[in-house]
Amino acid sequence: MSGANTGAQKHPLDTFFSPSSIAIIGASRDPVKIPGLLLAFLRKNQFDGEIFPVNPNYPDIEGLKCYASIAAIGRPIDLAIVIIPARAVLGALQECASVGVKHCIIISSGFAEEGGDSAGMQDAIAALARKTGMRISGPNAEGFYNEAKRVAATFSPTVDVKPDAPRLIATRRRIGIVAQSGGIGFAIYNRARALGIALSYVISTGNESDLGAGEFFDYMVQDPSTDVILLFLEGIRDTEKFLAAAKRAAETGKPVIVTKVGRSSAGGRAAASHTASMAGWTAAYDAVFAKYGFIISNDLDEAVAIAAVLTTSPMPKGDRVAVVTVSGGAGIWGADAVSAQGLQVPELSDSVQTTIRGLIPSYGSPRNPIDITAQAVHSGGLQKTIDLLNESDEVDSILVVISLSSETRMPFKVPELKPVIDTLRKPIVFYSYTLPSQYARTGLAEAGAVVLSGLTHVAVAIYQLIQRAKFKLAAPAAVASLNGALPARIGSAALSEYDSKQLLRDAGVPTPEEILVTERGALGDAIKRAGFPLVMKIQSRDIPHKSEVGGVRVNIASETEASAAYDRLLANARQHRPDAAIQGVLVGPMAKKGVEMIVGTVQDATFGPVIMVGLGGVTTELFKDVVYRPVPVGEAEASSMLQELKAWPLLNGFRGAPLTDVPALAKLVAQISQLAARLSGEVSDIEINPVLVHPQGEGVTVVDALVVPASRKGSA
């Protein structure tokens, strides 16, 4: 199948990935150096277009005429590959643009990755692309490989052609790889190829002076020859294109497996809110991945195993797994592995067990895991058991645990297995507990099956397939118009709890009736209005975390206690923060009991504001049981976020406790997300911690709130 878009509207990158002509600027006769490898791999992979070496030092290279310049070719060129010293690259690109070259890949290094003047050269390349419309990949790129069209525009040895090692292809569905590391991108391809997984493209994005990961991702999403997409990301630069592609992938049902590296980096900022301090560098990425149903994998072989299962399996209807084995111990291990992922390994019905019993020796087991024994392999019991389970409504997936080390025989007959694979009703995953032989891999590949040899990766792959089957893209949430005075209320100074709650109230978020007491003479009236028991809290824009300075008193039951609390709060504030400007003491009624949760937003440099909800109170940062999504979210999406929490049972009647008002909490999450979306330029963080969730129908109480203006980010 061609990699080009077969629809009426062509994608701008069609001629990038499927060029009819390629020029190599800096081509070499040396077959072991990168410029020589580029030419060699194009020819060895049988690129069927025209190749034009460009180098003034040679009249010809490997039988091809060599040109002194790109202009000397005198022909339209779809793709130019540039591998010359960094200082000469811009001039070569200008010449390419002047003669109408459509696309360039810059293999050369020595640009933004070095900083200084070298970064300036990369900026000039980006400006040239914008000015001329010529699309540029790199610099510092490793190129790409189009397997279907055999375009090896790369120097990666993984695309070298070895006549004595024919290509093993087990899948009709193809994976596309977009990697911000050339080495890792081609490593994924290398490992996928060894398993027999077919490829559409692998692209190394390099420094992304022009073309970025988002735009290549977009190409894979719309490309009919790409069925599953693997992303290896360090950081997104073309955010809008990436998000548009993610949305399109979710809408069209094209699975995306993603690995995001850089998770261990320290945050590098002082955070005013718990939300910000917990968010870390990848919270927004995880939020986007979750919203659009990406499958996150932090292990290369695991990602490839997931891709193998996705390219060979229909979507399962549930989480019930049948484990079929020829070794009792291996079968139990397989059952343990899938159970550890939270999947079911149900005992089969008497009728199904009776049928299987007739296919296996008396010392086998038909229960699940199903031990057919090695003897039943030779009598056809393995194949017949798989056929039976494929038709059964009692299980949703089948894990076949076998030994495939033999170089001379297999436990399956390909003509019998292939029709089952071709008409699968449910996933069938093959795991070999011995290292599988090439003979077995080739035989199963002919039947359309991939053999995996990492049990944990197999179990994770089945789990992720089941999770993917459940995914539904949430409906877009509208951003409501808000009070026009809100930005003016925010200003540039930090907001106290009193200020923050006033802002929330203006935005339509219900908050408790509380009184700010600015002088002792007003305390008596505040007590009468609030009623006992009371809570009293110091208020200062310079004290975001009041409990840390002894700034909170609760369960106050008398005027005497209230008077003493007032004095003590002021004294504590002066002692711990003598320079703080004190607004007063906030007096309000004690909230009735409820489940403590946290709702907050944080501003991410790449994706903008992100909403977070999780287990709240003083242990928020200890347990870090939180879920993130990009804003805004609707109430339905907010409710699904709550159900992802480990603390969800606390909201859903844990151990006989009453059901909580989840709809009220979901509404609050949606309101805060929309507020953050509306004020993304003015507000850095919003935090409500805790918010008390009361029994069903009794709503929620915003106990404490903190709003951090964008101008104060990192200054607390």
- Tell whether the model's pLDDT for residue 77 goes beyond 90: yes
Q: Which residue has the tokens 């399956």?
A: 412
- How far is the C-alpha of 180 from the C-alpha of 535, rounded, in Å? 53
Contact call for residues 681 and 710 (beta carbons, < 8 A): yes
pLDDT at residue number 280:
55
- CATH superfamily, domain 314-470, is Succinyl-CoA synthetase domains (3.40.50.261)
pLDDT tens-place string over residues 113-167: 887 888 899 999 999 999 999 999 999 999 999 999 999 999 999 999 987 778 8
Listed in sequence order, the DSSP H helices in 143-212 are 182-195
pLDDT tens-place string over residues 520-529: 999 999 999 9
Collapsing DSSP to helix, strand or coil, 295 comes out as strand
- Tell whether the model's pLDDT for residue 485 goes beyond 70: no
**Which residues have CB under 8 Å from 9's CB, separation 6+?**
none
- Tell whether the model's pLDDT for residue 488 goes beyond 70: no
- Tell whether the model's pLDDT for residue 700 goes beyond 90: yes
Contact call for residues 233 and 137 (beta carbons, < 8 A): no
- Tell whether the model's pLDDT for residue 482 goes beyond 80: no
pLDDT tens-place string over residues 30-72: 989 999 999 999 999 999 999 999 999 999 999 999 999 999 9
654 DSSP 8-state letter:
G
Strand-pair partners of 365:
371
Task: Transcribe 8-36 into DSSP letters.
Answer: SSPPTTHHHHS-SEEEEET--S-TTSHHH
Stretch 463-492: mean pLDDT = 82
- How far is the C-alpha of 597 from the C-alpha of 613, rounded, in Å? 7
What percent of the chain is modeled with pLDDT above 70? 94
pLDDT tens-place string over residues 354-397: 999 999 999 999 999 999 998 888 888 999 999 999 999 999 99
Contact call for residues 486 and 506 (beta carbons, < 8 A): yes
Which has the higher per-residue pLDDT, 181 or 134? 134
Residue range 14-254, CATH number: 3.40.50.720
- How far is the C-alpha of 146 from the C-alpha of 78, rounded, in Å? 15
Q: Which of 122, 145, 284, 308 is nearest to 227 (CA)?
A: 308
Q: Which residue has the tokens 């034009």?
A: 52
- Tell whether the model's pLDDT for residue 296 goes beyond 80: yes
Buried b (16+ CB within 10 A) or exposed e, 453-491: bebebbbbbbbbbbebbeeeebeebeeeebeeebbeebe
Tell me the CB-side half-sphere exposure of residue 563, using CA atoms within 13 A: 5
pLDDT at residue number 3:
45
Which has the higher per-residue pLDDT, 488 or 219? 219
Secondary structure tally for the chain: helices H, strands E? 25, 29
Contact call for residues 158 and 193 (beta carbons, < 8 A): yes
- Residue 408 Cα to chain centre, angstroms: 42
Q: What are phi and psi of 71, to 5 degrees?
A: -70, -30
pLDDT at residue number 710:
87
- Tell whether the model's pLDDT for residue 715 goes beyond 50: no
Cα-Cα-Cα-Cα dihedral sign, residues 412, 417, 418, 422: negative
What Rg, from alpha-carbon coordinates, does the chain have? 31
473 DSSP 8-state letter:
P
CATH fold match for the domains 14-254 and 314-470: yes
Collapsing DSSP to helix, strand or coil, 283 comes out as helix
pLDDT tens-place string over residues 312-363: 999 999 999 999 999 999 999 999 999 999 999 999 999 999 999 999 999 9
Q: Which of 500, 501, 482, 564 is nearest to 527 (CA)?
A: 564
pLDDT at residue number 478:
81
Taking the domains of the chain in order of start, what are their residue ranges?
14-254, 314-470, 513-589, 595-712
- CATH superfamily, domain 513-589, is ATP-grasp fold, A domain (3.30.1490.20)
Among 84-98, 526-540, 620-634, whose mean pLDDT is lowest?
Answer: 620-634
Among 246-250, 260-264, 502-506, 712-716, whose mean pLDDT is lowest?
Answer: 712-716
pLDDT at residue number 618:
77
Local confidence band at 277 (pLDDT 50, 70, 90 cut-offs): low
The rounded mean pLDDT for the chain is 92
- Tell whether the model's pLDDT for residue 206 goes beyond 70: yes
Q: Which of 173, 262, 299, 288 is nearest to 225 (CA)?
A: 173
Contact call for residues 382 and 374 (beta carbons, < 8 A): no
**Choices 3.40.140.10, 3.30.470.20, 1.20.120.530, 3.50.50.60: CATH for 595-712:** 3.30.470.20
pLDDT at residue number 493:
72
- How far is the C-alpha of 364 from the C-alpha of 359, rounded, in Å? 10
Stretch 488-506: mean pLDDT = 85
Compute CA distances 588 → 153, 532, 594, 669, 694, whole Å: 69, 9, 17, 23, 18
Stretch 435-464: mean pLDDT = 96
Six token digits for residue 20: 């009819």
What percent of the chain is modeled with pLDDT above 90? 84
- Residue 251 Cα to chain centre, angstroms: 16
Peptide bond into 690 cis (omega under 30): yes
Contact call for residues 285 and 260 (beta carbons, < 8 A): yes
pLDDT at residue number 269:
42
